[in-house]
């Protein structure tokens, strides 16, 4: 099994998987957009900054889903002569944009909450409670729709984290509405908004961190060239030395590795093509590396390469 065959098989599987993701996102977008308008109207009618902040978060959620859908459509375009890895990175870029957008929303919500502390308004607890329950139900449904997909895709994970934050914020709003309904403590409303903002900030940081790692082509989390090099030397005694090794990700599901290798003896060098095939297969099966380039060179070539570096 060559690295090219592995990549082709993987690409076909990824294309089918993206079709499923696309359908799930369309369904989630339809549901979320509807509830966003309900919370927006309800927030104005009840004077609830918590409902308005959650409607704003619903908007970011809808926006995130829309960006993710566009990214999937772009990423599904096949590789060609000047896009040799295709446009899979569009999904990572979408996740990064979603993270930045979440930071903007956090700033807006905190500003409005502070203003509400300074200039408090009466909040209609019962109406706020009913609308918050609707938002919670929709968030729970969205989580169920996309559950599982978030583990394999950073783009979907960014949307999934939006959903989790929405659900937790809805629980917070329901709790705030109950307290306001029975006590009249209107300050609970902006207080919950600040709590929601803290949660959004936490998710935004995680998405920005993970997407930045991919965009900067760093090694995937939990893996580096030393781990792979040590494993290859242990698994293939024919290998004398590994250097000029590079490890990076196109997207979290697509890991790429390249390296220069020197061998121990002449007999092995004669059968180097068979050895490379074995190494490629080993990397694919043990590290999920779908594209590996192993160049076997002589000691003389090694010196030349080192002098150039």
DSSP sequence for 148-215: TGGGT-HHHHHHHHHHHHHHHHHHHHHHHHHHHHHH--TTHHHHHHHHHHHHHHHHHHHHHHHHHHHH
- DSSP lists the bridge partners of residue 295 as 260
| Mean pLDDT along residues 190-205 | 79
Best CA proximity match to 104, nearest among 48, 42, 69, 59 = 59
- DSSP lists the bridge partners of residue 241 as 262
7 and 136 belong to one structural domain: yes
Assess if residue 30 is contained within a domain. Answer: yes
- DSSP lists the bridge partners of residue 258 as 246, 293
Assess if residue 303 is contained within a domain. Answer: yes
46 and 12 belong to one structural domain: yes
Where do the H-state alpha helices sit in 121-153?
125-146
> Long-range contact list for 82-91, CB < 8 A, 24+ apart?
85/250, 85/254, 86/11, 88/14, 88/250, 88/251, 88/254, 89/214, 89/215, 89/250, 89/251, 91/153, 91/154, 91/155, 91/251
Assess if residue 175 is contained within a domain. Answer: yes
52 and 106 belong to one structural domain: yes
Least confident of 15-24, 26-35, 38-47: 15-24
* Domain-ending residue, one of 215, 236, 261: 215
Assess if residue 238 is contained within a domain. Answer: yes
Contacts of 162 (CB under 8 A, 6+ apart): 57, 60, 61, 64, 65, 98, 102, 203
pLDDT for the residue numbered 247: 92
Best CA proximity match to 131, nearest among 29, 36, 28, 32 = 36
285 and 303 belong to one structural domain: yes
- CA 298/CA 278 separation, integer angstroms: 20
- CA 30/CA 144 separation, integer angstroms: 15
180 and 272 belong to one structural domain: no
**pLDDT more than 90, % of the chain:** 10
Q: Would you say residue 302 has pLDDT above 60?
A: no
SS3 239: strand
Assess if residue 220 is contained within a domain. Answer: no
Q: Would you say residue 223 has pLDDT above 80?
A: yes
229 and 211 belong to one structural domain: no
Taking a C-beta distance cutoff of 8 angstroms, is the pair 290, 7 a contact?
Answer: yes
* Domain-ending residue, one of 193, 215, 237: 215
Taking a C-beta distance cutoff of 8 angstroms, is the pair 167, 72 a contact?
Answer: no
Note down the domain range covering 245.
225-308
207 and 263 belong to one structural domain: no
204 and 245 belong to one structural domain: no
Assess if residue 88 is contained within a domain. Answer: yes
207 and 242 belong to one structural domain: no
Residue 47, sorted as left (phi over 0), alpha (psi -120 to 50) or beta, turns out to be: left
**Whole-structure pTM over 0.85, yes or no?**
no
209 and 229 belong to one structural domain: no
Assess if residue 107 is contained within a domain. Answer: yes
DSSP state of 267: H
3-state helix, strand, coil in the chain (%, to 5): 75, 10, 15
45 and 180 belong to one structural domain: yes
In the structure, what pLDDT confidence band is assigned to residue 308 with cuts at 50, 70 and 90?
very low
Query: Domain of 293: which CATH number?
Result: 3.30.70.1350
pLDDT tens string 262-290: 888 656 555 778 888 899 999 999 998 88
* Domain-ending residue, one of 156, 183, 215: 215
Q: Would you say residue 228 has pLDDT above 90?
A: yes
| Mean pLDDT along residues 34-54 | 74
88 and 209 belong to one structural domain: yes
| Mean pLDDT along residues 27-37 | 80
Assess if residue 251 is contained within a domain. Answer: yes
**Number of domains, the chain:** 2
Q: Taking all residues of the chain, what is their mean pLDDT, rounded to a whole number?
A: 76
Query: Domain of 83: which CATH number?
Result: 1.20.1510.10
């Amino acid at each position: 099994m060559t690295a090219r065959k592995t990549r082709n098989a993987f690409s076909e599987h990824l294309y089918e998987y993206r079709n499923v993701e696309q359908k799930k996102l369309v369904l989630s977008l339809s549901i979320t957009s509807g509830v966003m308008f309900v919370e927006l109207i309800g927030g104005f009618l009840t004077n609830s900054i918590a409902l308005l902040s959650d409607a704003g978060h619903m908007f970011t959620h809808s926006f995130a889903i829309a960006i993710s859908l566009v990214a999937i459509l772009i990423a599904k375009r096949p590789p060609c002569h000047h896009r040799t890895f295709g446009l899979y990175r569009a999904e990572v870029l979408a996740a990064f944009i979603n993270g930045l957008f979440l930071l903007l929303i956090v700033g807006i919500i905190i500003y409005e909450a502070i203003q509400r502390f300074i200039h408090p308004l009466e909040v209609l607890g019962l109406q706020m409670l009913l609308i918050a329950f609707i938002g919670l139900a929709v968030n729970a449904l969205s989580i169920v729709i996309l559950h599982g997909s978030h583990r394999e895709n950073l783009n979907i994970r960014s949307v999934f984290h939006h959903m989790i934050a929405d659900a937790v914020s809805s629980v917070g709003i329901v709790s705030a509405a109950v307290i306001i309904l029975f006590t009249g403590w209107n300050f609970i409303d902006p207080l919950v908004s600040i709590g929601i903002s803290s949660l959004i900030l936490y998710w935004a940081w995680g998405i920005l961190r993970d997407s930045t790692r991919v965009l900067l082509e760093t090694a995937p989390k939990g893996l580096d060239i030393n781990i792979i090099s040590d494993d290859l030397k242990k698994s293939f005694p024919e290998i004398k030395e590994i250097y000029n090794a590079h490890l990076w990700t196109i997207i979290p599901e697509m890991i790429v590795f390249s390296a220069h290798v020197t061998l121990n003896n002449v007999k092995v060098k004669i059968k180097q093509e068979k050895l490379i095939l074995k190494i490629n297969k080993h990397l694919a099966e043990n590290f999920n590396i779908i594209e590996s380039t192993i160049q076997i060179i002589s000691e003389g070539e090694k010196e030349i390469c080192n002098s150039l570096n």
